[in-house]
Structure 1
């Protein structure tokens, strides 16, 4: 691998950390790292650096934190770095065409889906919600459009029945880092040519809204299970239990038992050592890990020991 490349790296959250660490480990330390400005975090709302900034500072890499890259001043600063390539992973700021034209080889994006499926802000969560059998990560040549650029290479990842947004996030971040280091020389030498994305199969992964966390018990248990898994660790699926909000961190769908007419959706119909069964529009959802306001997540069976739940109906929207 050549070590004379002038790489600028742009990323902000945890997803972008493995790729930056992989570049450093491979002797491809960026000449600068771009990340979003420090944000208030925690109970004290103290200004906190992004995960990417922490890694960059620890490695002695200069850090830039412009509020926007649309200004002539910000673009001139990037130009002074004379980058061969701008590598982007979950940066979170719009990159104008003028910015993408500055690096000799343009911008390369590490994107967490199998493009053209799930372009946009929340590809991991939307893939789980939709029940996709697999997802993956792609290296894409950046264009001004939303994840529309041609693709250099992809790696796929099967989505198991217990896959959560948290677990898939970590797997894809690692797979993307490995793919980037493996293919970067070919991309910069021009020996790996990107292929245009097909026009068919384009799906947009819109941003997750907190209101989507509310469970509609009239939906099938399998769909609610996907909602639960897609929203771990945020915003976490939730339902009403009396006048309290019950957050559901882990569950699994079960077929409805044979017998009489099923209970009204949302009704607690059984308590077991490994969870609490709730009737859904079709099937049953067994709650396994739940959380009440101001408390830590606990096994649903422990929650059941503290309350009379059989026949109680969960539901309602806050």
Structure 2
């Protein structure tokens, strides 16, 4: 656990508001990746306007990263360091452990009015959820109850959803099951990847939590329960989900490429060597082939056309045109670079796994 002294001005707990003096809301923020850091930065910059003090930031312990496996601070921790805000990094809040009980006690010492949670990565027990006066509010990257769970952005793309959004939720002991306080939608564009959609939703999440904090009691009073029968779950991604099955329809593979960019990335094999497929064109539903799935039909300067599986009852197979690839040990390449370098040829066969 690391603690850095906060520079919040606790000596001035009241500000004028519509002619009345109201105490500043004591906020604890909990999050880990860049998605959460965007909201934290936004809230820090608006503390006076929102009549809040961010008294502490909770984030996951530093992790080893990169080839050198050096300890790396989370994006949220880096923001807190930049603003000299107190940082806590407990590994657990479980009552069954000494560390967990100590973490609960530390949280109580901050006397939080509300805890804002965004992609924190630790389970918060009921004893933690009830510590802040107004409970814990979660910034979730989907329109709940659709896509509860760890990977809502990726799952929305993989499923072919046309919209997603942000839900501000009053956290309870379930997995993203709490009452919905505020929802705002975001269209999913045909060219969106997990990376681009992440950035859109991170910005939208910052706007949404700001809106809620401008009148939190009113929003909480109008909270709406989720309809559990409409819920589905966004399971955590695993690396093997990136492996392309060319017998699938082109629309499924195209969503896989976009939905898994940048991680774990879509990939296939050629002569036992892994090839990453980095980007593709929208599926041309009028272009079909009799070639077996995984066959390279043509290597062009603008795109590489590959046979996929059949969709529905159609007699001919779909095709997919991808524009950027990366061979094992190499740098990303455009179709034109591949065409000039002769790394791929018409008739080559991609496989779903190394042979």
- Does TM-score exceed 0.5, indicating one fold? yes
The correspondence of residues 129-278 of structure 1 with structure 2, limited to 5 A, is 129-188=158-217, 192-252=221-281, 253-255=283-285, 257=287, 262-278=290-306
Compared CA separation, residues 47 and 163, structure 1 to 2 (3 A): same
Q: Displacement of 1:300 after TM fit?
A: 2.3
TM-score (norm 1): 0.96
Is the counterpart of residue 120 in structure 1 residue 156 in structure 2?
no
Give the corresponding residue for 2:137: 108
TM-score (norm 2): 0.86
**What CA distance in whole angstroms lies between the structure 2 residues aligned with 1:311 and 1:293?**
20
State whether residues 276 and 301 of structure 1, in contact with CA within 8 Å, keep that contact through their aligned partners in structure 2: no
Q: Which contiguous aligned blocks of 4+ residues in structure 1 show a shift greater than 3 angstroms?
A: 188-192
State whether residues 134 and 159 of structure 1, in contact with CA within 8 Å, keep that contact through their aligned partners in structure 2: yes
Is the counterpart of residue 91 in structure 1 residue 120 in structure 2?
yes
**What CA distance in whole angstroms lies between the structure 1 residues aligned with 2:350 and 2:270?**
5
Q: Displacement of 1:192 after TM fit?
A: 4.4
Give the corresponding residue for 1:56: 80
**What CA distance in whole angstroms lies between the structure 2 residues aligned with 1:240 and 1:44?**
28
Q: 5+ unaligned residues in a row in structure 2: which ranges?
A: 1-16, 95-99, 311-317
Give the corresponding residue for 2:3: none
Structure whose CA Rg is larger? 2
Aligned with residue 347 of structure 2, among 286, 289, 311: 311
Give the corresponding residue for 2:38: 18
The number of aligned residues is 316
Q: SS at 2:85's partner residue?
A: coil
Compared CA separation, residues 3 and 217, structure 1 to 2 (3 A): farther
Q: SS at 1:30's partner residue?
A: strand
Compared CA separation, residues 264 and 191, structure 1 to 2 (3 A): closer
State whether residues 239 and 245 of structure 1, in contact with CA within 8 Å, keep that contact through their aligned partners in structure 2: yes
**What CA distance in whole angstroms lies between the structure 2 residues aligned with 1:137 and 1:8?**
20
Task: State the Cα RMSD in Å.
Answer: 1.5
Q: Displacement of 1:26 after TM fit?
A: 0.8
Q: 5+ unaligned residues in a row in structure 1: which ranges?
A: none
State whether residues 250 and 309 of structure 2, in contact with CA within 8 Å, keep that contact through their aligned partners in structure 1: yes
